[in-house]
Amino acid sequence: MTEKKVSLKRETLPRLGHVVGLFLRSQVGTKAKLLLAILLLMMLAINGMNVLNSYVGRDFMSSIEARDLGSFHRYAWLYLGVFAASTVVAVFFRFAEERLALLWREWQTQRVAKAYLDRHTYLHFKETGSITNPDQRIAEDIRTLTTTTLSFLLMFLNGTFTAISFSGVLWSISPTLFAIAVAYAAAGSGLTLWLGRPLISLNYQQADREADFRADLIYVHQNAEGLAFTRDESRMSERLARRIDQLARNFRRIISVNRNLNFFTTGYNYLIQLIPALLVAPLFIAGNVEFGVIGQATMAFATLVGAFSLIVTQFQSISSYAAVVARLGELVDASGSAALRDTASCLDCQPDADHIRYSRLNLRAPAGDDHLLLRDLDVVFPPGKSVLVTGPNQPAKLALFHATAGLHESGSGSIRRPPPEQLAFLLEQPYLPPSSLRELLTPSGARTPLGDAAMLSVLNELGLDLAAARNRDFDTQHHWAGELSLGDEQILAVARALLAKPRFAFLDHLDSSLNEDEFRSVRQVMARHGVACIVLGNGKTAVEGYDAILELYADGSWKWTGPSPVP
């Protein structure tokens, strides 16, 4: 895998601002703004109580030093009251933060998932390999982005409020100590950035390596039977071992960088506890301040430096966050490019109510290959007629199949076709998602589910004997791919297509699993329903019974046998 250099780019903050703006203006924006307002009010309350707590703590310690039992009891109760109030506010602050993060994640995931499925973007990613592990980016990276962005935003706001609140406290104790706190935090932030900068790229690479390893494990689970029968476990074991070695090697580099970073940050945090005591203790010894001021100065210094040192204390989280932003940015940019690619296709696809018409159609191999698969195709597939597409040029058959469906754009020329709902494309390996029989057979976009009689009529007509149909069990979920043979899956896909009432159906090598009689029966049923069948032959398909034959040759030429291709 090629390693990428990843960093927080100049456009990162504007992009995040754009996404946040869209979220706040969305249909859930009012609820989001309310939660954000609650968070800001609670943040102000927490900072106010922290300042109050510093003074109560100072007087509490001073009452001990003065041996004043009455003041000790009074400040002890006040101390407990401030702690109790702070606890309640902090708990509800965390609750509101988690609710806002979940609301944002839900909205953002729905938005990105829609873009991923729109215009066949998912298919483009798979064919080109331009985006690795989009599933992880949508499922995990969005979760990290929303929760971490909100956390960093609140941390920054809280740090700002804290800096404003405790600057006055620390300045009143010692202006020198205030200046040291600012300089110490600035120097620490700069050194942390210098020491930890490789973590951004390493965390990006680690996310991909973990996802690749998980994808291979899923592949083993999904193909367990084939793996067992071929006894290919040793090769798969070697592949998994390479994946493990890649992720472990990258993680060792992360650990090494973290080690160097921790040497600095650990010492940095220890000195925060010592510096104020070194400056304020001599003032107490000289009798210039009370004993409780030492504790107050330590608390104020640590709080102020912590507010100025978010880069130091949160750099590991920031580096992971930068990788997430980069990965999601790539996904969003690629989705946008896919949409532009789809609308800018060089194939001129126009609606036609009655025919499928190819005019001067040239199809080239995808993915930048300039090889010409099909040259100057000028034919018409008329309604109600069956056409066999055959010949030795298998890539051209598949390209024509995909181009008619709008999934192949490398080429030129014109395709006129009926609306998508009047076309059916049946793959050799059907797409049968886990579902009930009623859900599976009900056409996409139908407002009401199919009735029992309509389903049984088509299944009986095709001669498909399903236990779910025999038992009138139409609403139980099934995993069809594991329950049916490939031939039965294909016939079930035909039943689903027929119930959608298309005008044209493209059959991709269905006769590879169905015998000649079964395949002929399928075509006859489709003909009775008024569906024109365009069959992609597998080289052994019998040519009898078709109204026309289109032969595609290896050099891109073609031959039409049957009625005149141009009416």
Quote the CA–CA distance of 349 and 342 in Å, as a whole number: 11
Q: If you write DSSP's letter for every residue of 369-427 in order, what string do you get?
A: ---EEEEEEEEEE-TT--EEEESS-HHHHHHHHHHHTT---SEEEEEEE--GGGEEEE-
Q: What is the residue-averaged pLDDT of the chain?
A: 78
Here the contacts of 445-452 (C-beta below 8 Å, separation 24 or greater) are: 445/421, 450/499
Structure tokens at 546: 């078709």
Burial category of 236 from C-beta neighbours within 10 Å (exposed 0-12, middle 13-18, buried 19 and up): middle
Contacts 24+ apart (CB under 8 A), 1-4: 1/205, 1/208, 1/209, 1/212, 1/246, 3/201, 3/205, 4/201, 4/204, 4/205
Confidence at residue 80, expressed as pLDDT on a 0 to 100 scale: 81
Sequence-distant (≥ 6) Cβ neighbours of residue 45 within 8 angstroms:
89
pLDDT tier at 329, thresholds 50, 70, 90: low
Mean pLDDT of 108-135: 70
- What single-letter amino acid sits at 331? L
Domains and CATH numbers, the chain: 106-343 (1.20.1560.10), 348-561 (3.40.50.300)
Sign of CA dihedral 32, 36, 39, 45: negative
For residue 162, how many other CB atoms are within 10 A of its CB? 21
Tokens 């202006």 map to which residue? 175
Q: Looking up tokens 């236990």, which residue turns up? A: 467
What single-letter DSSP state applies at residue 25?
T
Query: Taking residues 188-196, what's their average pLDDT?
Result: 75
Identify the CA nearest to 462 among candidates 433, 498, 516: 498
Look up residue 214 and give its amino acid: R
- Among candidate residues 339, 343, 350, the one with its CA nearest the CA of residue 413: 350
Fill in the amino acid letter for 80.
L
H-only helix segments in 140-285 = 142-173, 175-196, 198-222, 224-230, 233-285
Q: d(Cα 397, Cα 387) in Å, to the nearest integer?
A: 13
Q: What is the pLDDT of residues 364-379, one digit of tens each?
A: 887 556 688 899 999 9
> Who's near 224: CB < 8 A, 6+ residues apart?
none
Q: Is the pLDDT of residue 60 over 50?
A: yes
Tokens of 12: 């990162």
> What is the per-residue pLDDT for 504?
93
- What is the C-alpha to C-alpha distance for residues 541 and 428, in angstroms, rounded to an integer? 14
* Region 407-435 average pLDDT: 85
| Band of pLDDT at residue 345, cut at 50, 70 and 90 | very low
Task: Please enumerate in sequence order all residues whose Cβ is within 8 A of that of 30, keeping only pairs 6 or more positions apart, or say none.
Answer: none
> Is pLDDT of 70 > 90?
no
Using pLDDT thresholds of 50, 70 and 90, give the confidence band for residue 506. Answer: very high
Mean predicted confidence (pLDDT) in 79-85:
80
Give the predicted TM-score (pTM) of the model. Answer: 0.59
Phi, psi of 430 (to 5 degrees): -65, 155
41: part of which helix (H) or strand (E)?
helix 29-65
Determine whether 185 is exposed, middle or buried from the number of CB atoms within 10 Å of its CB (0-12, 13-18, 19+).
buried
Give the separation between CA 58 and CA 405, rounded to whole angstroms: 76
Contact 552, 391 (CB under 8 A): yes
167 CB-near residues (< 8 Å, 6+ apart): 178, 304
Determine how many CB atoms are found less than 10 A away from the CB of residue 510: 26
The pLDDT of residue 26 is: 85
Smallest CA-to-CA distance from 315 within 162, 127, 469, 189 is with 189
240 in Cβ contact with 217 (< 8 Å):
yes
Which one is predicted more confidently, 258 or 441? 441
- Contact at 8 Å (CB) between 325 and 176? no
Average pLDDT on 181-187 reads 74
- CA atoms 33, 39, 41, 43: torsion sign: negative
Structure tokens at 216: 């291979």
Rounded CA-CA distance 81/78 in Å is 5
Q: Highest mean pLDDT range out of 140-154, 212-226, 320-334, 475-489?
A: 475-489
567 has a pLDDT exceeding 70: no
Q: For residues 357 and 377, what is the distance between their CA atoms, to the nearest angstrom?
A: 10
Mean pLDDT of 433-459: 86
Compute CA distances 326 → 45, 140, 151, 193, whole Å.
Answer: 35, 14, 18, 18
Report the C-alpha gap between 122 and 134 in whole angstroms: 8
